[in-house]
Amino acid sequence: MPKQKLSPLPAAAFQIMMSLADQDLHGYEIMRRVEEQTDGRTRLGPGTLYSSIQTLLEAGFIAEVSNDNASDERRRYYRLTASGRKASREEAERLAGVVRLARSKKLLKGEYV
Amino acid sequence: MFERLLAFLFCLYPLEFRRAYGREAWQLIQDRLRVERSVPMRVRLLLDLVRDLLAMSVRGWHPNPALITAGDVRDGTPRFQMIEVQPRRPEWYVAGMLSSVLMFASFTLLFQPENFPNAPAQLGEGDGSGRDSDAPFDPNSPQQQPVIVDPAAERRKIIEEVAANLRDRYVDRAIGQQLSNALLAQEKNRDFESVHTGPELAERLTNRIHEMSRALGVPAGAYVADVLYSEMILPEGPPPAMTLTPEAREQARIAAQRQNCYFQTIEMLPNDIGYLKLIGFPNFDACEDMTRKAMQTVNNASALIIDLRGNRGGYGETALQIAGYLFDRPTFLWDPRPHTIVPAETASPVASNKLADKPVYVLTSSTTGSAAEYFVYNLKMLKRATIVGERTAGNQHSGAFRRITDHIGMGIQEESPAANPFPIKGWETIGVEPDVNVSRDEALETAKKLAASRAR
């Protein structure tokens, strides 16, 4: 089995980028936001979370931003970059295409994507 | 005990991972510990950590799978790999639960917590020498293993120091004396005996100070003191000045200009609603012109939405500058800091400004803090804006800072702030309550509807 199959990174990375779409967040906030946006199905552990963050940083999809909160200086905040936003949009559109196809094949009900 | 078990599990993560993200990852676990207090939640936390640890042991730290592959590039646009999301099956829970119980029992029997003094943030950490202050967090590193002589004595010493600061430095000496006496009595009663880590002690002391000061008649929202834990070794010497050094201001100026002075969005929405999203209040010297241009862009709006969700603060002068556009005469804004450099009144009226009589909606979240709360608090007290969203963070940041140990310090209100004419005497710990209480995700749509209905 290829190593890529073992990795949850693509899903985790996409969820992290979705969580950063409208706000800069630190690690714990990202974890909570991902949990909320997946209706509790996905809780990122520290290893998965920061592995994904590291990869996204290296890909230039997110960036670390300065933390102006003096009382909170232990934390690092992350922001979605322009290329990250573009990649997220493309991925969302691709997934929407998959859902449209599923509807056309009568695998899903409902009119809209 | 539970925290020590988590600390031990944390030590099993790969060294490279802990070097790169140890501080943050441990902070994440601490955050979950603080919020998830019930037994089921604690079990869930333990399972999550075990599962994550197992996943990392299979995958290794930072496997760096390419997010983009040649086959995924379409029209020059990067795409993700196919996402595989499988529903969790009941047998996975059973397997996870059994393995966790086995691990928990094994750890309890085989390892006593006393054998792991290198768990992060233990009391007694550091000897005051300031060494290794820049080294990455690494609980396994011999150089960073804390020197625990007597954790109970260390805890007692911190509590006594906090009590002494309250007694000698808090602006109201009578209340400071009572707070000091109460803390010492609680220490004597062994109320803090279950506390084993620096962050836990700081949080417990802060909560006690807040509870007791309210009981002693300090108004809600007024800042008294709080105890802080820092992963980094705190600097020695006198407390830092309330204002930034010229070098720090210059760095902040450059940082702000690189990020469009923190104006993430400046636009006109349908129904002539002006919309400003500010993710921080930037350096005033660097961003005065940019702020003026932003306000001019929305000058013809029939209503204004100022989005401060996630805005953790910054420079009060910029908050005051924006507030200046919302009034037609000089208006007092209360600043809790005794030696603030922010003027007490807005520079209203602003020439050619048309916003002074327009409805204003300010969006907030639980992470809206510090200078952003200064802005929100004053507009709410003056009834100049409708606050839409969540209760703000409650970080007044108005005290002087006192170092206690290498990692523990405290903020304390040593001098009286300016007289506060408003009925609520600040926002420390209580935050600013919104007028329209909705989640951060609903705040913008709610404000748009309110603004549109008022325009009609």
> Contact B79/A91, CB-based, under 8 Å?
yes
Is A48 within 8 Å of B31 when comparing Cβ atoms? Answer: no
Read off the pLDDT band of B453 (50, 70, 90).
Answer: confident
pLDDT for residue B34 is more than 50: yes
Beta-carbon separation of B259 and A56 below 8 A: no
pLDDT at B77: 40
- Considering B208-222, B223-237, B295-309, B442-456, the range whose residues carry the highest mean pLDDT is B295-309
User: In this complex, do B65 and A7 lie within 8 Å of one another by their Cβ atoms?
Assistant: yes
pLDDT band at B315 (very low <50, low <70, confident <90, very high): confident
Give the pLDDT mean for B59-71: 52
Q: How confident is the model at residue B341 (pLDDT cuts 50, 70, 90)?
A: confident
Q: Given CA atoms A26, B392, B335, B177 in this order, what sign does their dihedral have? A: negative
pLDDT surpassing 70 at residue B18: yes
Residue B249's Cβ-side half-sphere holds a number of Cα atoms within 13 Å equal to 13
Residue B349, preceding peptide bond in cis (omega within 30° of 0): yes
Whether B78 and A71 lie within 8 Å, measured CB to CB: no
Q: Vertex B13, ends B12 and B18: CA angle to 5°? A: 125
Nearest to A45 among B31, B49, B68 (CB): B49
> Would residue B348 count as lying in a domain?
yes
Residues B220 and B337 in one domain: no
In B39-141, alpha helices (H): 39-59, 90-110
| Chain A residues near residue B51 by CB distance under 8 angstroms | 45
Q: How many domains does chain B have?
A: 3
Which of B44, B46, B77, B83 is the best substitution to test chain A (most A C-beta atoms within 10 A)? B83
Identify whether B302 is part of a domain. Answer: yes
Same domain, B299 and B174: no
Name the residue facing B369 among A3, A43, A69 (closest C-beta): A69
Q: Is position B326 within any domain?
A: yes
Choose the mutation target among A69, A77, A85 for the interface with B, i.e. most B CBs under 10 Å: A69
CB contact under 8 A, A29 and B367: yes
- Clarify whether residues B265 and B367 are in a common domain: yes
Question: What pLDDT sits at residue B383?
Answer: 96
Say how far apart CA B27 and CA A72 lie, in whole Å.
11
Of B38-42, B62-66, B195-199, B423-427, the poorest mean pLDDT is in B62-66
Specify if B139 maps to a domain: no
Angle B232-A23-B50 from CA coordinates, rounded to 5°: 60
Which residues face A80 on adjacent strands?
A62
- Check CB contact under 8 Å for B78 and A83: yes
Same domain, B253 and B220: no
Band (pLDDT 50/70/90 cuts) for residue B240 is low
Q: A109 touching B, CB under 8 A?
A: no
Most confident of A44-48, B280-284, B443-447: B443-447
pLDDT of residue A1: 32
What predicted TM-score, i.e. pTM, was given to this entire model? 0.53
pLDDT bracket for residue B79 (50, 70, 90): very low
Output the pLDDT for position B80. 42
Which of B10, B74, B395 faces A71 most closely, judged by CB atoms? B395
Instruction: Measure the CA–CA gap between B356 and B417, rounded to whole angstroms.
Output: 28
Residues B307 and B437 in one domain: yes
**Mean pLDDT of the B424-438 span:** 91
pLDDT band at B71 (very low <50, low <70, confident <90, very high): very low
From the list B77, B65, B76, B75, the residue with the least C-alpha distance to A87 is: B77
Position B220 pLDDT exceeds 70: yes
Instruction: Answer whether residue B245 shows pLDDT above 90.
Output: no
Mean pLDDT by 10 residues, chain A (113 residues): 39 90 89 87 88 87 74 75 87 83 77 48
| Nearest residue in A to B309, CA atom | A23
Question: Is position B119 within any domain?
Answer: no
> What does DSSP assign to residue B342?
S
Mean pLDDT, chain B, integer: 80
Looking at the structure, tell me whether residues B323 and B388 fall in a common domain.
yes
The percent of residues above 70 in pLDDT, for chain B, comes to: 78
Please check whether residues B439 and B294 belong to one and the same domain.
Answer: yes
> Rounded to a whole number, what is the distance in Å from the CA of B105 to chain A's nearest CA?
22
Question: Is there a single domain that holds both residue B375 and residue B349?
Answer: yes
B130 pLDDT above the threshold of 70: no
CA distance B79 to A14: 10
pLDDT score for B259: 81
* Three-state secondary-structure class, residue B391: coil
pLDDT, tens digit, for every residue of B157-206?
999 999 999 999 898 889 999 999 999 999 998 888 888 888 889 989 99
pLDDT value at residue B260: 86
Q: pLDDT value at position B102?
A: 65
Strand B360-364 to strand B303-307: parallel, antiparallel, or no bridges (unpaired)? parallel
- Name which residue leads in pLDDT, B449 or A106: B449
Q: What is the least distance, in Å, from the CA of B137 to any CA of chain A? A: 12
| pLDDT for res B395 | 84
Q: Are A64 and A76 a contacting pair, CB within 8 Å?
A: yes
CB contact under 8 A, B312 and A59: no
Going through B198-302 in order, the beta strands assigned E by DSSP cover: 225-229, 263-269, 273-278
Q: Which residues of A, range 88-107, sit inside 8 Å of B by Cβ?
A: 90-91, 94-95
Identify whether B374 is part of a domain: yes
Q: Which of B17, B26, B309 sits opposite A47 (nearest CB)?
A: B17
Q: B388 and B270 in one domain?
A: yes
Range of the domain at B175: 151-229
Q: Which residue in the set B61, B67, B231 is minimally distant from A59, CB to CB?
A: B67
- More confident: B226 or B385: B385
The confidence band for B446, taking pLDDT boundaries of 50, 70 and 90, is very high
Determine which helix (DSSP H) or strand (DSSP E) holds B361, and give its type and residue range. Answer: strand B360-364
Task: Give residue B214's pLDDT.
Answer: 86
Q: Which residues contact B2 (CB under 8 A, 6 or more apart)?
A: B33, B42, B46
In a domain, B349, yes or no: yes
- Asked which of B98-102, B334-338, B367-371 is least confident by mean pLDDT, the reply is B98-102
Contact B80 A76 (CB under 8 A): no
pLDDT at A67: 64
Contacts of A70 in chain B (CB under 8 A): 397
**pLDDT at residue B121 tops 60:** no
Supply the CATH number for residue B388's domain.
Answer: 3.90.226.10
pLDDT beyond 50 at B227 = yes
B322 and B441 in a common domain: yes
pLDDT of residue B191: 86
Among B47, B75, B103, which residue terminates a domain? B103
- Mutation for testing the B interface, residue in A74, A81, A101 having most B CBs under 10 Å: A74
pLDDT of residue B223: 87
**pLDDT band for position B131 (cuts 50, 70, 90):** very low
Instruction: Classify residue B454 by its DSSP letter.
Output: H
**Given A28, A69, A86, which is nearest B370 (Cβ)?**
A69
Classify residue B355: in a domain, yes or no: yes
- Considering the domain architecture, whether residues B282 and B309 belong to the same structural domain is answered as yes
Query: Based on the domain organization, do B203 and B306 belong to the same domain?
Result: no
